[in-house]
Structure 1
Amino acid sequence: MTVTGTTLVIGATGTTGSRTAAQLTAAGHRVKAASRRATPVPGAEPVPFDWYDPATHAAALDGADRVYLLPPLGDADPAAVMLPFLRQARTAGVHRAVLLSSSAIPAGGPAVGAVHRALPDLFEQWAVLRPSWFMQNFTGTHAHAVSIREDGVIRTATGTGRVGFVDAEDIAAVAVHALTDEHAPDTDLVLTGPEALSHDDIAATITEVTGRPVDHLRLTYEQMRDRLTAQVPAEFAAMLAGMDLAIAEGAEDRVTDTVQRLTGRPARTFRAHLERETR
């Protein structure tokens, strides 16, 4: 059974936000699609929203009783802007919140982990989605996808460590369940695909499916950190490089049944994702 109401999707033009908004509207739910550019999302009401501009917050929250939360990208301390907004959201009538975090960040951990820890005390109904690394990182606009297209390489500090890469479409399907199902539990959900793969495996699969040779170039932590520092703030770059090091040490070598258990269908494999994207 599903609930009725209006869902505010923050980051509605992003990798998971766009898919969540699309799946919600396709199922007949009312959606306010929030982003800095207020780009139209078919079937949704576009609203301007900027985490760092409180003047945009009240209008975005108006009429919403549920919210999908995409943290501000590249911010090593998102709680500073997110927690005041979430308290405002509660006052405005939001009773259900679904937060996108990461399988690498537990409640109380760095960055969005502080928001995760605070969420149960702020809302009657809540869920934290902690997906593994996205399959779309290799096919979209992520740095990995760019380096694959331009240089035929994937650069990481993950060594031979394996990851349960997950499709953003599956993340969105779980988000829709968490936002709309009346019996969705208040819970912390780790989301993965059906198999754990190393970046060597990823490179080999891309080579096989596309016919274009792709190699995995193994960097040290320091090399990865310095490379990322040219793209994002230094503190955030160090955190991301540290996540690669954690992968090398086995932290992400796991699979869960969350996608199938909550959506009723198997999580998509990386090969299936790649074949769909390259058709």
Structure 2
Amino acid sequence: MVERVLIIGGKGKTGRRVASRLSAAGINVAIGTRTPDGRQDRRFDWSDPTSASAVEGCDAVYLVAPTDRTDHLAVMQPLLEAAMARGVRRFVLLSSSLLEPGGPMMGEVHEWLAKSAPDWAVLRPSWFMQNFSEGPHARTIRKEGAIYTATGAGRVGFIDAEDIAATAAACLTAATPLNSDVVLTGPEALSYDDAAAIIAAALGRPVHHVSLDPASLTARLVLQGLPANYAETLTALDAHIAAGAEDCTTSGVEQVTGQRPTSFRAFVQRVLDRWK
């Protein structure tokens, strides 16, 4: 039985939601963060080998990869091995629907966990609904009534971070390990034009999708402060969407949690104040 879980990135979009669900279920939670300031917090930085001490007393870890680089396995493997040496058995990795095992970024970590970890699960969600309310699109919707992407008319099975957290909590505490990956989506695939129209109807004012060419999106992301190689990686993901790679839905959330995922319209109604 899992008794204590270290949640890396425990103050982020999914991490804080996973922590809340586990705490409500009576599971002891430790928060891995670069800036500890609370009773549950433990200092954790993927680039610091001494961060391995954060797993002491934990039997499971929720893994969120660093967001400022793309060589994820190179930086994560030493700390994952140190965690195993300290008795951690179960690892649940947040990855992406577009990243196959052995692919770039978290895909390399996915493949390594499948070969190396005693118990593991890899969550491969589609794009977060929270990108519209907490992430890169929130400010432009609020200030400009605009959403900028290079996705064209490509559709996405947007997923609520609450549903990702519910799936992660289930994987972290299940009596039987998943030892597999699961692709997570919402119940319908929507284009960014569709998403903009739904938000506009709920707000009662115009919101439109600005479809950029890939070079323009990369330049925009760099101006926002992202490293050039990371901006190019994100733009490439938009190109995959434009090509139809995310135009699907799955039953992953329901299979793991027993509950249907949240619709985009229900999500928009829940977070309307974010854009006012």
Partner of 2:31: 33
Match of 2:215 among 222, 225, 231: 222
Q: How does 1:1-279 map to 2 (within 5 A)?
A: 3-40=1-38, 45-58=40-53, 60-140=54-134, 142-230=135-223, 231-278=225-272
Kindly indicate whether the alpha-carbon contact (under 8 Å) linking 1:99 and 1:116 is maintained by their aligned counterparts in 2: yes
Query: Could you tell me how far apart the structure 1 residues matched to 2:68 and 2:45 are?
Result: 14
> May I ask how many residue pairs the two structures share in their alignment?
272
- My pick for the range that moved more, 189-198 or 255-264, is 255-264
Specify every segment of 5 or more residues in structure 1 that has no aligned partner in the other structure, as ranges. none
Query: Could you tell me how far apart the structure 2 residues matched to 1:66 and 1:192 are?
Result: 24
For 1:104, the aligned partner's letter is L
For 1:14, the aligned partner's letter is G
Q: Percent identity at matched positions?
A: 47
- How far is the alpha carbon of 1:34 from its aligned partner? 1.1
Query: Could you tell me how far apart the structure 1 residues matched to 2:68 and 2:125 are?
Result: 17
Query: Could you tell me how far apart the structure 2 residues matched to 1:33 and 1:244 are?
Result: 31
User: How much is the aligned-residue C-alpha RMSD, in angstroms?
Assistant: 1.2
SS of match in other structure, 2:206: coil
Q: Normalising by structure 1, what TM-score?
A: 0.95
Kindly indicate whether the alpha-carbon contact (under 8 Å) linking 1:134 and 1:167 is maintained by their aligned counterparts in 2: yes
For 2:245, the aligned partner's letter is A
- My pick for the range that moved more, 105-114 or 94-103, is 105-114
- How far is the alpha carbon of 1:223 from its aligned partner? 0.8
SS of match in other structure, 2:14: helix
Moved over 3 A (4+): none
- How far is the alpha carbon of 1:186 from its aligned partner? 0.5
Query: Could you tell me how far apart the structure 2 residues matched to 1:84 and 1:101 are?
Result: 19
Q: Normalising by structure 2, what TM-score?
A: 0.96
Kindly indicate whether the alpha-carbon contact (under 8 Å) linking 2:155 and 2:247 is maintained by their aligned counterparts in 1: yes
For 1:67, the aligned partner's letter is V
Query: Could you tell me how far apart the structure 1 residues matched to 2:161 and 2:14 are?
Result: 6
Query: Could you tell me how far apart the structure 2 residues matched to 1:69 and 1:137 are?
Result: 20
Kindly indicate whether the alpha-carbon contact (under 8 Å) linking 1:86 and 1:122 is maintained by their aligned counterparts in 2: no
- How far is the alpha carbon of 1:39 from its aligned partner? 4.3
SS of match in other structure, 1:15: coil
Query: Could you tell me how far apart the structure 2 residues matched to 1:30 and 1:66 are?
Result: 11
Query: Could you tell me how far apart the structure 2 residues matched to 1:148 and 1:74 are?
Result: 25
Kindly indicate whether the alpha-carbon contact (under 8 Å) linking 2:6 and 2:60 is maintained by their aligned counterparts in 1: yes
Kindly indicate whether the alpha-carbon contact (under 8 Å) linking 1:37 and 1:48 is maintained by their aligned counterparts in 2: yes
SS of match in other structure, 1:129: strand
Deviations 1:223-273 (A, max 9, x none): 111111222111111111011011011000000001112111110011111
- How far is the alpha carbon of 1:79 from its aligned partner? 1.4
